[in-house]
Amino acid sequence: MATLTKRSTVYLDPALHKALRIKALETSRSMSELINEAVREALAEDAEDLAAFDERANEPLIRYDEMIKRLKKDGRI
């Protein structure tokens, strides 16, 4: 890795470790690279979710039964 890194111990489920090791071999990437990428993507997704919550913070609340009625009316359920 070209950038500075920090060492960390991570305990993985044995099946997950095996799958990760196989993917690393098949993609010619290190397990660390794959883990870093997965964590980066998960954190980015969390940031997107938080931004969406912020954007909708001022929307009026709707009761559950009202939402079900709307979904049925729109043919979504």
In a domain, 62, yes or no: yes
Within a domain: 30: yes
Which domain range does residue 32 map to? 14-73
In a domain, 68, yes or no: yes
DSSP state of 59: S
8: in domain: no
C-alpha span between 40 and 34 (Å, rounded) = 10
Instruction: Let me know if residue 2 belongs to a domain.
Output: no
The string of pLDDT tens digits covering residues 2-47 is 678 999 999 999 999 999 999 999 999 999 999 999 999 999 999 9
Does residue 25 form part of some domain?
yes
- When divided into structural domains, the chain yields a total of 1
0.75 exceeded by pTM: no
- The verdict on residue 43 lying in a domain is yes
